[in-house]
Structure formats: C-alpha cells, structure tokens
Amino acid sequence: MEKITVFIDGSSYAESVCDHAVWAAQRLETPVSLVHVLGRRNEISSQPGDLSGSLKLGARTELLNKLSKLDEERALLGRERGRAILDDAAARMRAQTGIEITTRLRSGDLIEAIKELEGETRFAIIGKRGEAAGFAKEHLGSNLDRSVRTSNRPVLVASRAFKPINRFLLAYDGSPATGRAIERLCEGSVLKGLECHLLTVGSATPANRSQLTAAAQRLRGAGFEVTEHLETGDPETIISKAVATHGIDLLVLGKSGHTRLRQLFIGSTTLDLMRTCLVPVLIFP
C-alpha cells in the first residue's frame, strides 16, 4: 500500500511537517510513514592516521579504545534521540487523526532514503529547513534541492507553520512536467476540490493564452474552480507577487521545464523562492 512518507528531524519545522502530514492524510485517507534519518555525520569513526605519530603504541591503543567507546556512545545517543523525535511526532499526529501511522529510524543519507522508500510512497513531505539551518544554510539548500530533484514522487515542502490550505497556485509553463502535474491533479490528489489559480509567465501571445485556457479547462473538467493568469516578467518575481496578492496557501510547481521556471531548481534560487513565498510548496516530478 502506498503511504505518505514524512521525513522528520529535530528542527523548528518538525511540528509543521507533522501538521501538514495530518492534513494530507485526512484528505486522502492514506496511512503515514514517519521516517527519521540519522545521517552519516553522526557516524563518527577515528582512524589511527588522525593521531600524533609521537604517541607510543600503548598510548595510541588506549586512545583508540576510548575514541571507539565514545563513538559507540554517540551512536547510541543518536538512535535514542531519533526514536524520541519519532515518538513525539507520532504522538502529535495521533492526537489529531485516527489515520494509521508507523515510524521508521534509518541510518545513512536522506537522498538514499528517499529513493529506497519510493516504491511505497505516494508523495513525500519534508520541511523547508533542517535542524542545522543556522549553521550551514548553503549546504542545506543544496540538500533540499537534491532531495526534490532525486524524488520521482511529488514532494510537499512544508513551511514553518501550518495554516489551513484552501487555495493553491500552479505555475504552468506548458512543459511536460507541469502537464503531468495537471494530470495528477485531475486524477485525484491531495488538492482535489480546492480553489486553483493557474499562472503562466510569458508574453501575452495567442499561443500562450490558448495553452493556458486549455489547461484551465482540463482542470475545470475535473471539478476545480480555476482562475487564469497570464503575466509578463521575471518568473520568480511574478510568482512571489501572485502568491501574496491572491492569498495563496500553497504553491505548486513542476520539477523541470523548458523555460526559466526550470532554474527554480538549480542552485540557491529554490530557497530564495521558498523564503519569499512563505507558503508550502508541492513539487511534481
């Protein structure tokens, strides 16, 4: 059975990730798999080459034994902390919903976990920032971008605090990715029945208008209430402005496209857009 796979850590976004997961699970009546990835940074090991060559053999051996014991204690504490994070998250969610919730503690890399769990994942949920955001902003930005680009399932990137989601904006550029996003919405998604704003950033040509209208009609045929927007300018600026102007609760993007929208998933622009919009983002592959 496909589940909503929720990646949780000890960051300030954890509660919001849980609340977004409850919202999604209740709308889809789908079980949730809560996952905490320990990360390789917690898997510390000391090599003899790291120690001073001036130490005598007995001193080196004793120090290595102490370091090995310290590594084991750190690993144990890491697992205990991870289990506590999962238990707290599950308790928060179970207080809000009767949907089935399971927990999983994994070692390794977040990207690997996303790929390995893909077969049982309907879509994934992660926070916009991780628990080390204050110390390695550029690294975490890259990690978030890699997570999104790696996943072949939709990814919901949760904002800092959950707010009721009634209205979403889909940035539509006519690319295969945004076309697939529309098809997924029409087939039945977590956004079914919500108010939709459909935005194309480009010249006001008959071709662009026709493409936008056709997409809107496809969504209306699936029961969505759709408002069309065709704007000229810089995509990042136009999207951010539209989110604020129209009271958008959720931004929907395709993972790649043939226009500048593709740049939203290369480098730091992804985090810039997410910080500017201050709403959760649902990304379709």
pLDDT of residue 285: 81
- Three state DSSP letters for 24-36: HHHHHCCCEEEEE
> What is the average per-residue pLDDT within 59-67?
76
Query: Do 3-41+78-158 and 167-279 come out as alike in CATH topology?
Result: yes
pLDDT value at 73 more than 90: no
Per residue in 82-109, pLDDT tens?
999 999 999 999 999 999 999 999 988 8
Q: Does domain 167-279 have CATH number 3.30.360.10?
A: no
Using pLDDT thresholds of 50, 70 and 90, give the confidence band for residue 53: low
pLDDT of residue 264: 47
84's CB contacts (< 8 A; 6+ apart) are none
Per residue in 117-174, pLDDT tens?
999 999 999 998 765 554 444 334 556 777 887 888 999 999 989 999 999 999 998 8
pLDDT of residue 36: 95
- The token duo for 188 is 């039945």
pLDDT of residue 54: 54
Q: Where are the domains of the chain?
A: 3-41+78-158, 167-279
Superfamily of domain 3-41+78-158: HUPs (3.40.50.620)
103's CB contacts (< 8 A; 6+ apart) are 33, 34, 35, 36, 86, 87, 89, 90
pTM over 0.85: no
- 59, 48 Cβ separation under 8 angstroms: no
- The token duo for 158 is 């949760």
Q: What is the DSSP letter of 278?
A: -
Report strand pairing: 32-37 vs 3-7: parallel
- 171, 201 Cβ separation under 8 angstroms: yes
> What is the average per-residue pLDDT within 44-73?
64
Q: What is the DSSP letter of 279?
A: S
> What is the average per-residue pLDDT within 276-285?
88
Q: Tell me, what amino acid is at 247?
A: G
Per residue in 174-228, pLDDT tens?
888 889 999 999 998 899 999 999 999 999 999 999 999 999 999 999 999 999 9
Using pLDDT thresholds of 50, 70 and 90, give the confidence band for residue 67: confident
pLDDT of residue 282: 93
pLDDT of residue 48: 42
